[in-house]
Chain A
Amino acid sequence: MPRLGAYILALAAWATVLSPAVRAGGFDHAIESAGIRTVKLYGLGAGLQAGYGSGIIVSEDGLVLTVFSLLIDARTIRATASDGTRYEAEVVHRDTERQLALLKLVQSRHPNQPDGTIEQANDAALRFPFFDLSGRPELRRGDWVIAAGNPFKVADGAEPVSIAHGVLSAKTRLDAKRRTKKFPYTGDVLVIDSITSNPGAPGSALVNLEGRLVGMIGRVVISELTHTHFNYAYPVDVLHEFFLEATGATPSKPEPSGRADEERPRPADLGLRLSKAGYRKVLPFVERVRRGSPAARAGIRPDDLILSINGKTVADVEACNRRLETLSPQEPVVLVIRRGRTIHSVRIEWEEE
């Protein structure tokens, strides 16, 4: 008998999935599509870190993607699906570099919650509507997007999650910090013009007008370029890559550790020495160029002022040195320098030395 109940429930779920397919898209369609594939998460919170969040279902058996945060350190992570059913979530994989986590929804060990009235099927029968991460929907700047999640945990139980609309603002690389610490993820992000930099919003689904997943909202960070709260999402290909590693489909990148640090190749050396002075901020003037070095071969001269390295502006010697240390001898370097009144772009090749 409970088996039949589950069957009917599954059928009902399928009906909700299929019915909007009659129409190709629109806000209402996108909201419905995203809403049923989004879960509300509850876990550990402390201080300014919210003990609640959002996640997106990425497999039929209930794998859930969310951001890496204190929340998932809870002894019991609770998840509420769109129909109000409560589950527990186990951490499958966490990635501190990308700040992502993969969870698995399992049957709650405490099904008789005071307000949890829905009977649950056993784990084997769990079936969820989910986002297909292998899709790569086209998304251009100016295209409408919908973010679906639980900022400020305003939605409870079966209440639909909060929806925000906006457009794709930009595609860029993340250069951000959390309080004073550099944010470890520096890969591609989608920037949106909807305010998602709010507690609980990280882990929200970002979908296009057709309701297809284009990204997932990332943690609250401050952009280094603008000193503002940044409203961004991980693009779906980054999520897919993480998902494949987390599920063992592809080998995962080794986590950085002390040992890995030793094995890391020495920073590439362009052969530049920059000005030194007692001031707080020193402009990155070239003081000396080592003879025969890549910089010398490219024609860099003393007294040239370095404005940017590989497209990133360097405001002072400190920033310049930091960026020089990250250069890899595999890739050519483009310096923009100012010499007198003129500005030159100089490409430096590593070879020959």
Chain B
Amino acid sequence: MVARRIHTGLLVAGLTLVCSPAAGSDQDPSAETSYEALRATQEVFHDVVEKVVPFLVRIETVGGSQPTAPLPEDETEEEKPRKRRQHQFQDSLGSDFVVADGPTTGLVYSSDGYIITSSFNFVREPILISGVLPDGRRMAADLVARDQVRKIALLKVEAEGLPTPKWAGVDDVRVGQWAIALGLGLGEQEPSVSVGIISALNRMSGNAIQTDAKLSPANYGGPLCDSSGRIVGLCTPMAQRHGELAGAEMYDSGVGFALYRERIDDIVSVLKHGKSFYRGWLGISVDTRFMEGVIVANVAVPSPTHSADVKVGDRLVSANGSPLRHYGDLMRALYMLPAGEQVNLVIDRGGKEWQASVKLARSDELGSLPEVAEPFDPSLPVPKEEPPQP
């Protein structure tokens, strides 16, 4: 069978040679961009749009405003240090990107009216949300819950029998294949189209596909599709750091991300119960002046690390198996883990390593950082103290 195929291949190559002697070689590098080949790809893109349009929902929001820095302005000089401590674990947006008034995109998730979209669209906490269904019906939509870490949101409209799209699983996606992003963010009935390829798999701690299709508020919340019209992921801004807007500043850059189907299913099964995901915190501060090692400079009380008996001066060796050489490693180990997730820490205290399992907390579950007489200095000898017995 293999031999036969090679035979046919040679025959075709021979024919090409005969037909186009000007090419001079059986490996014409411009064959993929020949007029005929390009026309054929255009047809593929048209078909994808046609197949996926029936699952797109235009989301319009009313009210709400761009969140701003949370520090109160009327604080007195006395209050300042205390307030600052309270705000030590303030969730940030992660980007200066300003969300506009325009509509955004959602995708029908299930026939009973669940719509998935990017949580990007709700940073402004709009008062009212409405969805325009593929059949043109405009309906009030409820924000069921949202994941501020993996950045998807679940909406619900009162509808039955909605058509649902075909999805491609993780194993069906290959680097280099066409990736087509669709969105309704420009306010038109017809979706905007951006074409690229799958640039990488397993980005963002294994949560996302990377594409060079141009992703922006025009298609955040919309689907990334393969050439057969299957959905390979949900487009949403992402970056290797915390913050619900992190990554939005990279819009249209050719570096874009879409959340995998499998991850979406996991998250939606929780969101459906009205439970949102928030940034997960350890509740420690780390002195970022030291480039080598992640050394605990302070521990909030209460906090999950305090409960696990982590102390000032401890060195965090690894988190969930990833070695921590510096603060950046710690951030990268945690940025895709919401509050409630367990993190296995290996900690070094006075030369002895021990393990602690810490459940990440929401910022509002953390107490303030206690006053430290003087900033911890890792260059001084560490007081010998035995690690806690497991």
Q: Which residues of A contact B (CB under 8 A)?
A: 23-29, 140-144, 166-172, 191, 193, 195, 209, 223-229, 231, 280-281, 283, 305, 307-308, 311-313, 315-316, 319, 336, 338, 341-343, 345
Contacts and interface: CB of A to CB of B under 8 A. Distances in A.
A25 B30 CA distance: 13
Contacts of A225: 100-103, 185-187, 217-218
Interface string B215-254: 0111000000000000000000000000000000001100
Interface stretch (B4-12, B58-66, B71-79, B169-177): B58-66
B192 interface: yes
Contact of A169 (B48, B140, B193): B193
B103 A313 contact: yes
A247 B129 CA distance: 49
Interface of B: 30, 33-35, 38-39, 41-42, 45-46, 48-49, 60, 62-63, 65, 97-103, 127-128, 130, 138-140, 180, 185-188, 190-196, 213-214, 216-218, 251-252
A103 to B, nearest CB: 30
A307 B62 contact: yes
A343 B140 contact: yes
A231 B39 CA distance: 23
B127 A144 contact: no
A281 B63 CA distance: 8
B195 A193 contact: yes
Most chain A CB neighbours (cut-off 10 Å) among B63, B99, B139, B187: B187
Contact of B194 (A24, A167, A209): A167
A183 B264 CA distance: 39
Given A223-B186, A281-B63, 11 more contacts: A141-B45, A142-B195, A169-B218, A172-B187, A191-B192, A193-B194, A193-B196, A209-B42, A226-B217, A305-B128, A313-B60
A82 B42 CA distance: 29
Which of B49, B63, B190, B193 has the most C-beta atoms of chain A within 10 angstroms of its own C-beta?
A: B193
- Identify the 5 closest CB pairs spanning chains A and B, nearest first: A225-B102, A142-B45, A170-B192, A193-B194, A227-B100
A341 to B, nearest CB: 6
B164 to A, nearest CB: 23
B42 A143 contact: yes
A192 to B, nearest CB: 9
9 contacts: A27-B38, A141-B190, A142-B42, A170-B190, A226-B218, A231-B252, A313-B62, A313-B187, A338-B62
B108 to A, nearest CB: 18
Given A142-B42, A209-B38, A172 B193 contact: no
Contacts of B193: 141-142, 167-170, 193
